[in-house]
Every structure is written in C-alpha cells, then in structure tokens.
C-alpha cells in the first residue's frame, strides 16, 4: 500500500502543468472523484476554466488509470489531452505522471487512510483476487 502526500500531489501537478505549458485548452475536466482535486488545482495553475463535463480541446485529468473504463468514455473526443497521476499499464493514448505496478494499492492524500485497508480488500474481492 502506497500512501501519497500533498507534496506528492504538488509534484504531480507541476509535471502536468510543465508538460501543458504553451498549449491552448478550452478548460480542464477531472473525473469524479479522484480527478476533481487535480482539475481544480490545474485550473488555477494554468488559469483555464474548470469544466463540468469533458469537451473538445480540453485537458482531462484523473488520479489513476486502472482498467480504462473511465477514460475510454472520452477517448474519441476531439483534441483532448489526457493525464493521469498513475497508470497501472503503459500509456497508449493518454499521459501518465507515473506508471506503477497493477497490484499496487494507492492511497491519495484526499482519501481516508484508515479506510484504505478495507477498501483494498473490497476491491480485491470484486476482482476475484482475494
């Protein structure tokens, strides 16, 4: 189990904003829940609008790419740039700040670390891995 800090979060945001410097976006959208913290912060850092839904030519962020279920919903949206903090597979059409082992359980700074063990067990049971 890997517990991430707010300093780790700030480092992630720095890497994303550096990679996006000079690009023009309609705004930034973050998938609920993990992408929301990221999108609000990036909206301020890049001084671009915070979006309530993904639109063409936008920056789209999320905390983790695991199965692809979430990001595949917007895969064909025109002109988007997609970043995740962590990808559990090598990125193909999206960008990742960090690629991690698929079995690694991540606890983001906005999550309750006391519930992390239970959440991981529940997740593993749903996947048939426990």
pLDDT tens over the chain, length 130 residues: 899 999 999 999 999 999 999 999 999 999 998 999 999 999 999 999 999 999 999 999 999 999 999 999 999 999 999 999 999 999 999 999 999 999 899 999 999 888 887 887 787 787 776 5
Q: Hey, what domains does the chain have and what are their CATH numbers?
A: 2-126 (3.40.50.2020)
**Strand runs labelled E in the chain:** 2-3, 28-30, 59-65, 81-87, 95-99, 106-107
The tokens for 99 are: 């690629």
Is residue 97 within 8 Å of 64, Cβ to Cβ? no
Q: Which residues pair with 8 in a beta bridge?
A: none
Is residue 96 within 8 Å of 86, Cβ to Cβ? yes
Neighbours of 118 (CB within 10 A): 10
Q: What is the pLDDT of residues 24-61, one digit of tens each?
A: 999 999 999 899 999 999 999 999 999 999 999 999 99
Smallest CA-to-CA distance from 8 within 120, 95, 85 is with 85
The tokens for 94 are: 């999206």
């Amino acid at each position: 189990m890997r517990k991430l800090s707010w300093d780790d979060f700030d480092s992630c945001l720095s890497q994303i904003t550096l990679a996006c410097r000079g690009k023009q976006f309609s705004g930034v959208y973050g998938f609920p829940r993990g992408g929301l913290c990221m999108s609000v912060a990036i909206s301020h850092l890049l001084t671009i609008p915070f979006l309530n839904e993904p639109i063409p030519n936008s920056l789209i962020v999320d905390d983790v790419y695991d199965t692809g279920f979430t990001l595949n919903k917007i895969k064909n949206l025109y002109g988007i740039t997609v970043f995740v903090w962590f990808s559990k597979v090598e990125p193909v059409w999206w960008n990742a700040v960090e690629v991690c082992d698929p079995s690694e359980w991540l606890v983001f700074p906005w999550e309750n670390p006391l519930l992390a063990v239970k959440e991981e067990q529940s997740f593993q049971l749903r996947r048939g891995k426990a």
